[in-house]
Structure 1
């Protein structure tokens, strides 16, 4: 079995890079959705949600950079065009959302899709003992599960 300079199997690492690029694309769409929600939210909860959406998109921006850097660390090339993002994203594009409940629902649905991709990556990275990717996915999953819980509590929905 051929391994790279990190000691990881080359073929499996290439598959992992492809999944990370799907996650990167999905995060880019999620990030842009959050920007749109931040700009377009209206209503009595404007001030609270405007700040929350900013907090979430700033966090997403950091995660996007971490994912791209992980792709590079693993020897891949991170996607970096809107065309790639749209073709590979698992996240629904949210357009012209002004309503608070619709906005929060979009966030919950987006995070649910991100979790699906992250769990695939977590399984793949664990299989090849890629602790760097594994640790990053574990951190993302833990944070996003908590955010989903909080958003569903705001919506007054059960987990």
Structure 2
């Protein structure tokens, strides 16, 4: 088995890079969805949601950078074109969403899909003792689970 300079198996690390690029692509779509929600939200909850969506897209932008840097750290090349993002995307694309409940629903469904991708990466990283990727996924998952819970509470829905 060939080991890279980080002490990780080369073949499994390449597979992990592919999964991280899938996550990166989906985060880019999530980020753009959040921008659209921020710009287009209307109604009596405008002020609260406008700020919340800005908070979420700023956080997503930071996570996008962390994912891309992890891909580079593992010896890969982060995807960086809209063509690649769309090809790898698994999220619903929100277009012209003005309604508060529809907007929050899109966020919940997007985060649920991101969590699925992150859990795949978490398991793959654990299998090869990639603590750097594992730690990042654990942090993402913990934060996003809390956001899903809060959004579901706002929607008055059960987890």
Question: Scaled by the length of structure 1, what TM-score is found?
Answer: 1.00
Is residue 2:59 matched to residue 1:46? no
* 2:12 paired residue number: 12
Quote the offset at 1:133 in angstroms.
Answer: 0.0
Normalised to the residue count of structure 2, the TM-score between the two structures is 1.00
| Whole-Å separation in 1 of the counterparts to 2:98 and 2:46 | 10
Deviation per residue, 1:46-92 (Å, 9 max, x gap) = 00000000000000000000000000000000000000000001111
Alignment of 1:30-69 (within 5 A): 30-69=30-69
* Runs of 5+ consecutive residues of structure 1 not aligned to the other structure: none
User: Unpaired runs of 5+ in structure 2?
Assistant: none
Distance 1:87 1:148 in 2: 26
**3-state SS, counterpart of residue 96 of structure 2:** coil
How do 1:109-124 residues align onto structure 2 when only pairs under 5 Å count?
Answer: 109-124=109-124
Query: How many aligned positions are there?
Result: 159
CA RMSD of aligned residues (A): 0.3
